[in-house]
Amino acid sequence: ELVNHFHRSAFHFQPPKHWINDPNGPLYYKGFYHLFYQYNTKGAVWGNIVWAHSVSKDLVNWEALEHAIYPSKWFDIKGTWSGSITLVPGKGPVILYTGINQNETQMQNYAIPEDPSDPYLRKWIKPDDNPVAMPDYTMNGSDFRDPTTAWLSKDGHWRTLVGSRKKHRGIAYIYRSRDFRHWVKAKHPVHSKESTGMWECPDFFPVSTIDFENGLDLDYAGPNAKHVLKVSLDMTRYEYYTLGKYYPKKDRYVPNGDSPDGWDGLRFDYGNFYASKTFFDYKKNRRILWGWANESDTVEDDISKGWAGLQVIPRTVLLDSSNKKQLVFWPIEEIESLRSSYVRMNNKDIEMGQRLEVKGITPAQADVEVTFNVGSLEKAEPFDTSYTYKPLDLCRVKGSNVTGGVGPFGLITLATPDLEEYTPIFFRVFKDTSTNKPKVLMCSDARPSSLEQDRGPLNQDRMYKPPFAGFVDVDLADGRISLRSLIDHSVIESFGALGKTVITSRVYPVKAVKENAHLYVFNNGTQTVNVESVDAWSMERPLQMNNGAT
């Protein structure tokens, strides 16, 4: 039975009960958005995984359908793991997914809709000529999974990537097919990187370097594009991506020289966000990103809540027009249809130690956008570029209470008025000592979020309250920087500088819940900052949130 627990999200995608992980096979087809996802039919921990399936007309209200794929054949009897969907002309949508056989070997399979004219795509067939790709003796049969959406190249071949590893080297294999049935592995991986471990859930897509409004479909082969390769690292449960060039004739991807490849790479999201996947939305010509946010409370908590995991609000993905060196992300516009009560504040100076309350909305279920103006950078703390600071180390030492020059300033969310519990999301502006340019740190810090004890990251049975951080690549030429947070009881998604840096965090306050949660704008830097505007909305629960697979 479903308990309406006070940590349960209201407007995020979540089935009524049990465990979920990766988003699978997102697609727009015949008027419906489809989302499949890894789902445990039996409980709130990982296991018994099927492809659960929901559809939506607007990416906000969802309707659950019967499970699309579940273990039933020799080639997937021990698991139906992650994969994707490709629209194949003449065939309709085709699923590629990873099946696990009796010996725990991973292999790639396909499935086709029983009736491609059904916009719901309710029934899926797994033909008997599966699998389409088996690991050969040179490959790692227990690390060979998560096929990407395929694309059709000019040479008449379909191509897809499959994640893998050899010892500590992360690998993305590339396969070719003429008929979407017989697949041949290219001689070399499309890309690989030493010391990164297994590459789960690769994603590979082009972005335009001149059009900053529309996304590109996978088969785009014209000029003015870069490719993005994202991988999910199972050792640390975070993802990174590079921007680079794809050479179709050689079947090679080469990251750009200024796009770090490895543990210090760029991230779609610097917080609790994993196994993400994009798709091209033919309806609105945009590329949309889905991603999974796991719980960070204890396994015990999950079992007693009866559910674990949610999907973040889908985000559009574009190349950053200002530097063309990174991507920018923004919650899909449809989510704004859930905005209800609204408050606005204008032009307020906040001095050091001051905190302004945002009243008149529901702070535990809200969408808030703030624009700050920092004025002068004179008081900014020096940033010594001869030392390579990791943003997370800085955030750990310089929390929201540690007085700075310019900043920390930002939002205090899910707070009790006495700040016994609170989750701050904030910026801290440093000044690069060699160039005098600003270096901006963004943190979302769960350490003070809950009175419940953190039992440390190595304890499986833990409540985990980590700080998360990333740098924000802005020049602050006009002094402005914005922050938007989507707050939904136990999940906070924050977008710095219009989506240049994104951080998702899961938090579990015990007092700052429902009506007892408060929202503030704050400044703990010696420099006064101006809040040019705050726009805040209560968020409604979607009318139809029956994501419930049973």
**Which stretches of the chain bind ligand FRU, using CB under 6 A?**
21-22, 38, 49, 81-82, 98, 145-146, 200-201, 275
Strand 545-546, strand 62-69: pairing:
parallel
Tokens of 179: 């008929």
Q: How far is the CB of 200 from ligand FRU (least distance, A)?
A: 4
Do 251 and 188 touch, CB atoms closer than 8 A? yes
What span, in angstroms and rounded, lies between the C-alpha atoms of 183 and 173? 12
CB nearer to ligand FRU: give 82 or 242.
82
Q: How far is the CB of 234 from ligand FRU (least distance, A)?
A: 6
Residue with tokens 């309806």: 283
Which residues contact residue 80 at a Cβ distance below 8 angstroms, ignoring those fewer than 6 apart?
49, 50, 51, 69, 70, 71, 97, 98, 99
- CB atoms under 10 Å from CB of 78, counted, come to 17
What span, in angstroms and rounded, lies between the C-alpha atoms of 461 and 440? 35
Q: How far is the CB of 21 from ligand FRU (least distance, A)?
A: 5
| Cis before 26? omega within 30 | no
Tokens of 364: 């535990």
Candidate list 22, 261, 269, 320, residue with the active-site label = 22
How many Cα atoms within 13 Å fall on the side-chain side of residue 44?
A: 20
What span, in angstroms and rounded, lies between the C-alpha atoms of 27 and 301? 33
262 residue type, one letter: G
Q: How far is the CB of 196 from ligand FRU (least distance, A)?
A: 14
22 is catalytic: yes
CB nearer to ligand FRU: give 98 or 400.
98
CB nearer to ligand FRU: give 309 or 496.
309
CB nearer to ligand FRU: give 14 or 38.
38
CB nearer to ligand FRU: give 84 or 501.
84
Q: Each residue of 457-466: b (16+ CB within 10 Å) or e?
A: eeeeebbbbb
Q: How far is the CB of 190 from ligand FRU (least distance, A)?
A: 18
CB nearer to ligand FRU: give 96 or 442.
96
Q: How far is the CB of 96 from ligand FRU (least distance, A)?
A: 12
- Catalytic site residues? 22
